A = this chain, B = another copy of it.
């Protein structure tokens, strides 16, 4: 096999010409993946390999079918360069994004293009083998639909809520029943490796690779849906902590005299701010006769869920907006703690509540400015995600490619 670095577990150890060549191939493939079509000269600059050698390596890659010629680039004052790009069909990546009540699947080619996308909304995340079986089947359907054999899949990325130990491929909160661990179990079913991570962290990877966090070094990504998740890019790298439990932002102490949280502690941020709380508050108020667009939902027998609340907010429903504003004070206070500890350059609001856009950004910004040290808050941008519901799925792709191109596929 010519490109073992795409498959082998590790590529380290003593000096070895073959391994060095693998590393050179890897550098070139990485450049083409991260920067798109490129000339030999560009690769020379980024790889620090000499021009004759890069030319010969690219020639090899053309022969292997990994790389394609992609025309001639613009002149920058001299001869126009030949451009090369990755062969999009050389390998594929499977993306799996699971939430409590949905299963999203995607197939990506080597140019990050979606070649398959499906969302199953009737899915329910349960700790049963039946549930994993559904996932395995749906992935098989995806591959069959596109006529892609498992050998053509580099790896799958898997995004799941709860405590996840990405390093060992273990999910502690959900689908935790398998003996092998979820990652290894699914890998054995699929015939290709599966990289697990927590949903907030895959979202952060997605934002880093394709969203507003691109080219930024210190970014915090909030997953505001029914709960509160936090994925952190620190010093340019995803931060997971010792056991992969970092980012439990929903369970930091905000109100010492507050309510009991599901985690067993008192006054966690999540008892004051979360999509779940917001929906519950609005439902309760409507039951007590509060006027709102959402009151008609109830009459019509429609479910009042987070999606409906966000829609009402966007439609200008004053009551829903007020309720969101109230929540934003607590969220702002919590974010100030993050700001003071981590001095990030950007905080990205993602998750279902991110669809509310400025209705969440504006009040949170206001509260943060009230509570934060100016020197720190003035250097930070608070924005809502562009990728929105696709962030996690894009992040699974990014996590796979990062592992492959950094040479460690476990």
List, in ascending order, chain B residues with CB within 8 A of A337's CB. 252-253, 337
| A237 interface residue (CB < 8 Å to B) | yes
Measured CB to CB, the closest approach of chain B to A326, in angstroms, equals 15
Pair A371/B341 contact, Cβ less than 8 Å: no
A281 to B233: give the CA distance in the assembly, Å: 41
Of A80-88, A243-251, A283-291, the one contacting chain B is A243-251
List, in ascending order, chain B residues with CB within 8 A of A251's CB. 340, 373
Interface centre among A245, A247, A341, A342 (most CB of B within 10 A): A341
Pair A242/B344 contact, Cβ less than 8 Å: yes
A197 to B209: give the CA distance in the assembly, Å: 31
Given contacts A15-B48, A253-B336, A340-B251, contact A376 B235 (CB under 8 A): no
Pair A15/B49 contact, Cβ less than 8 Å: yes
Given contacts A235-B239, A263-B373, contact A342 B246 (CB under 8 A): yes
| A343 interface residue (CB < 8 Å to B) | yes
| A163 interface residue (CB < 8 Å to B) | yes
Pair A249/B49 contact, Cβ less than 8 Å: no
Pair A15/B379 contact, Cβ less than 8 Å: no
Measured CB to CB, the closest approach of chain B to A171, in angstroms, equals 13
Question: What is the interface residue range for chain A against chain B?
Answer: 35 or more
Measured CB to CB, the closest approach of chain B to A372, in angstroms, equals 8
Pair A247/B341 contact, Cβ less than 8 Å: yes
Please report which residues of chain A, range 143-198, place their CB below 8 angstroms from some CB of chain B when the two chains form the complex: 163, 172
Nearest CB in chain B to that of A172: its residue: B375
Interface centre among A49, A230, A247, A373 (most CB of B within 10 A): A373
Measured CB to CB, the closest approach of chain B to A222, in angstroms, equals 12
A240 to B236: give the CA distance in the assembly, Å: 12
A359 to B342: give the CA distance in the assembly, Å: 29
Pair A15/B252 contact, Cβ less than 8 Å: no
Pair B218/A241 contact, Cβ less than 8 Å: yes
List, in ascending order, chain B residues with CB within 8 A of A237's CB. 235
Q: A45: which of B14, B50, B340, B376 is its contact (CB, 8 Å)?
A: B14
A60 to B254: give the CA distance in the assembly, Å: 60
A265 to B373: give the CA distance in the assembly, Å: 8
Measured CB to CB, the closest approach of chain B to A206, in angstroms, equals 19
A342 to B248: give the CA distance in the assembly, Å: 8
Q: A235: which of B218, B234, B243, B254 is its contact (CB, 8 Å)?
A: B234
A48 to B244: give the CA distance in the assembly, Å: 30
A247 to B342: give the CA distance in the assembly, Å: 6
A335-361 vs B, CB cutoff 8 Å, 1 = contact: the mask equals 011101111110000000000000000
Given contacts A342-B241, A371-B265, A375-B245, contact A256 B255 (CB under 8 A): yes
Pair B218/A340 contact, Cβ less than 8 Å: no
Pair A373/B235 contact, Cβ less than 8 Å: no
List, in ascending order, chain B residues with CB within 8 A of A230's CB. 341
Question: What 8 A-B pairs are tightest by C-beta distance, nearest first?
Answer: A241-B343, A246-B343, A248-B340, A242-B345, A245-B343, A252-B337, A15-B50, A251-B340
Can you list 29 residue pairs at the A/B interface with Cβ under 8 Å? Answer: A14-B44, A14-B48, A218-B242, A230-B341, A234-B239, A235-B237, A240-B343, A242-B343, A242-B344, A242-B345, A242-B379, A244-B343, A245-B343, A245-B375, A246-B342, A247-B343, A248-B341, A248-B343, A248-B376, A251-B373, A252-B336, A252-B341, A253-B333, A253-B336, A255-B256, A256-B333, A263-B373, A338-B341, A341-B341
Known: A241-B342, A246-B342, A338-B341. 20 other contacts (CB 8 A): A14-B44, A14-B48, A15-B50, A163-B375, A217-B242, A218-B241, A218-B242, A243-B343, A246-B341, A248-B341, A248-B373, A248-B376, A249-B341, A251-B373, A252-B341, A253-B336, A253-B337, A265-B373, A337-B337, A341-B341
